């Protein structure tokens, strides 16, 4: 492993921790993207899109809120299970998967987004509080407040996209999921697995590759909008 610089404090590889050599960090992201360490509140930026998705109106929402807002079909700030279902249908998922996704997602996420402590049988997900639904064992690309962390997004590819620098094979995706697991975080493992498998299912290309652009697009929800347009 070549040394990054004469200064060992800038090294990203520790010989005694071989995993740091296997899973690489992009050490020059700042050459292509200003302030890559700074989480962006409203734009899913990367080195190819330093201003985020062209033409996308954030409507003042965080990147995580934009991800979820696609499913708020009537834009009243609440995602009910039937809206999750309609959103899933709109991006081309079949009846069975859409039904299962609607029940499971709203069951899993509703409660933590409510303002009070009484659960609602209608399983509403409040877009305003969606950051409270964050779980562990994820990529950390959304920060705790629902912003988008460009350096974390970049790590998905610098660490795991070995065969093609801007896409993940199914094997590489599974390696990432295994690697992201936090200790004993069984719920987080299941959530992450479901999110990424679903993404792979809707966005892989003919060769089975999950492209960087599809992944970036899922974060700000623009992928969902594209899939809906393509079907219409
Ligand atoms: C086809 C539909 C969907 C797909 C493919 C999908 C995919 C994803 C992916 C890939 C992530 C990023 C996880 C990571 O960074 O490791 C994510 C995060 C998240 N999604 Fe979705 N999602 C979908 C629908 C929804 C819906 C309907 C909601 C709620 C209404 C939702 C709420 C969230 C939340 C709260 C997070 C943040 C979780 C975290 O990273 O801790 N998603 N989703
Ligand atoms: Ca709604």
pLDDT beyond 80 at 3: no
The answer to whether position 2 is within a domain reads no
Q: Residue 194: inside a domain, yes or no?
A: yes
User: Pseudo-torsion of CA 105, 108, 112, 118, nearest 10°?
Assistant: 110
Q: What pLDDT, in 10s, does the model give residues 76-111? A: 999 999 999 999 999 999 999 999 999 999 999 999
Residue 4 resides in a domain: no
pTM summary value: 0.96
Residue 1 pLDDT more than 80? no
Q: What is the mean pLDDT of residues 22-45?
A: 98
pLDDT of residue 162: 97
Distance (Å) of CA 135 to CA 3, 33, 107, 139: 35, 28, 14, 10
Among residues 114, 126, 118, 115, the alpha carbon closest in space to that of 80 is found at 126
Q: What pLDDT does 5 receive?
A: 62
Q: Please check whether residue 152 lies inside any domain of the structure.
A: yes
Residue 45 has pLDDT above 60, yes or no: yes
Provide the domain count of the chain. Answer: 1
How many whole angstroms separate alpha carbon 13 and alpha carbon 85?
45
Q: Which CA distances in Å does 42 have to 78, 214, 217, 218?
A: 19, 18, 13, 14
- Grade residue 2 by pLDDT with cuts at 50, 70 and 90: very low
Is 153 inside any structural domain? yes
Ligand 1 binding pocket (C-beta < 6 A) is 64, 67-68, 71, 79, 84, 88, 105, 109, 125, 130, 133-135, 138-139, 141-142, 192, 195-196, 198-199, 202, 218
Residue whose CA lies nearest to ligand 1 atom number 38:
134
* 101 in a structural domain: yes
pLDDT average, residue stretch 33-54:
98
How many angstroms is it from 155 CA to the middle of ligand 1? Answer: 18
Across residues 68-83, what is the average pLDDT?
98
Is the confidence metric ipTM above 0.95 for this complex? yes
Per-residue pLDDT reduced to its tens digit, 162-205: 999 999 999 999 999 999 999 999 999 999 999 999 999 999 99
What is the Å distance from ligand 1's center to 195 Cα? Answer: 6
- Return the percentage of the chain with pLDDT > 70, whole number: 98
- Report which bound ligand comes closest to the CA of 68: 1
For residue 211, give every residue at least 6 positions away whose Cβ sits within 8 Å of its Cβ, in sequence order, or none: 166, 167, 203, 205
Q: Does some domain include residue 10?
A: no
pLDDT of residue 232: 86
The reply to whether 31 falls in a domain is yes
Domain extent, residue 36, equals: 21-231
Q: Is the pLDDT of residue 55 over 60?
A: yes
C-alpha pair distances (Å), 214 with each of 84, 158, 182, 211: 20, 16, 25, 5
């Amino acid at each position: 492993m070549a040394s990054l610089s004469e200064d060992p404090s800038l090294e990203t590889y520790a010989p005694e921790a071989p995993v740091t050599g296997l899973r690489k960090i992009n050490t020059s992201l700042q050459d292509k993207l200003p302030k890559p360490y700074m989480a962006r509140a409203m734009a899913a930026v990367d080195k190819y899109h330093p201003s985020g998705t062209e033409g996308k109106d954030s409507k003042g929402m965080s990147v995580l809120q934009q991800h979820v807002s696609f499913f708020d079909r009537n834009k009243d700030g609440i995602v009910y299970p039937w809206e999750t279902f309609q959103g899933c249908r709109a991006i081309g998922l079949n009846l069975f998967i859409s039904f299962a996704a609607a029940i499971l997602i709203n069951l899993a996420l509703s409660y933590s987004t409510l303002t009070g402590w009484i659960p609602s049988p209608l399983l509403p997900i409040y877009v305003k509080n969606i950051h409270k639904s964050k779980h562990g064992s994820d990529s950390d690309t959304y920060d705790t407040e629902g912003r988008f962390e460009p350096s974390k997004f970049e790590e998905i590819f610098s660490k795991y996209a070995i065969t093609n620098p801007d896409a993940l094979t199914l094997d590489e995706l599974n390696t990432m999921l295994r690697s992201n697991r936090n200790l004993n975080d069984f719920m987080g493992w299941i959530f992450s697995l479901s999110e990424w498998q679903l993404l792979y299912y809707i966005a892989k290309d003919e060769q089975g590759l999950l492209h960087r652009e599809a992944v970036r697009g899922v974060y700000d929800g623009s992928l969902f909008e594209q899939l809906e347009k393509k079907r219409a």
